[in-house]
Amino acid sequence: MCSLCREDFFPTTYQRYYYKLHKKAYCSKKCSSKISSIEMIKKNKKYASQRMKINNPSHTEQGRNKLREISLKNGYKPNILGGNGRVRPVTETKLSKSLGKGWEQNYVFITHENKGSGYPFHYKLNIANLKNKIAVIGLNSNKKWKKKKEFMESKGWKIFRFSNKEIIRDLNYCKKFITDFTENY
């Protein structure tokens, strides 16, 4: 009987020999190839991850340096990205620079909330002043904005929200609004 499909068959000399060695017999090459690939997957699962790490050229400092050299030679330059892998808006960068020292762009605030609490593990603040706990956030959907604002205020933060249009229209007003509040806070 075939060890895979369980059909009766008349074994060849080789199949009988194989059965004596492995206590398995297969009726056709199709069945034996299926079994060997399944067994191989099980075996490789243990060792593949470790083997791939060892053989991966970027796993060593020398390999990473060589890859970096090749990339630079080929003209590759990484994009300077903002939150969630997107290019930072020009308005965000302008406002951040105009506020001066003490203001961080794309600050990640860890919430320290447990999974299932309804809050994410972190919030991204477009521009933040850690000393005064003041953040500037772009326009999000109302539901997300309210939840984020309530949470951040419960942790002692003051949140301001400006659209790109507001910053483009009057950057100095946005800057003055924030700095006046910071001085009086």
pTM: 0.52
Looking at residue 79, its pLDDT comes to: 64
Average pLDDT, integer, range 109-128: 87
Sign of CA dihedral 15, 19, 20, 21: positive
Token representation of residue 151: 């949470």
According to CATH, the topology of domain 83-184 is Endonuclease; Chain A (3.40.960)
Token representation of residue 166: 């507001």
Mean pLDDT of the chain: 81
In tens, the pLDDT along 24-52 reads: 888 887 777 776 666 667 767 767 777 77
Token representation of residue 182: 């910071």
Q: How confident is the model at residue 166 (pLDDT cuts 50, 70, 90)?
A: confident
Judged by average pLDDT, the poorest of 86-95, 98-107, 122-131, 153-162 is: 86-95
Mapping DSSP to helix (H, G, I), strand (E, B) and coil, where does residue 145 land?
helix
Does residue 83 carry a pLDDT above 70? no
Residue 121 backbone dihedrals phi, psi, to 5 degrees: -70, -25
Locate CATH 3.40.960.10 in the chain: 83-184
The Cα–Cα gap between 138 and 47 comes to 47
Token representation of residue 50: 């470790």
Looking at residue 37, its pLDDT comes to: 65
Q: Which residue matches tokens 């003041």?
A: 134
The Cα–Cα gap between 157 and 135 comes to 7
Residue 82 backbone dihedrals phi, psi, to 5 degrees: -100, -150
DSSP 85: G
Looking at residue 96, its pLDDT comes to: 86
Longest dimension (CA), the chain: 94
Residue 114, H or E segment = none
Q: Is 156 left (phi over 0), alpha (psi -120 to 50) or beta?
A: left
Cβ neighbours of residue 78 under 8 Å, at least 6 residues apart?
none
Mapping DSSP to helix (H, G, I), strand (E, B) and coil, where does residue 59 land?
helix
The vertex-139 CA angle with 145 and 171, nearest 5°, equals: 135
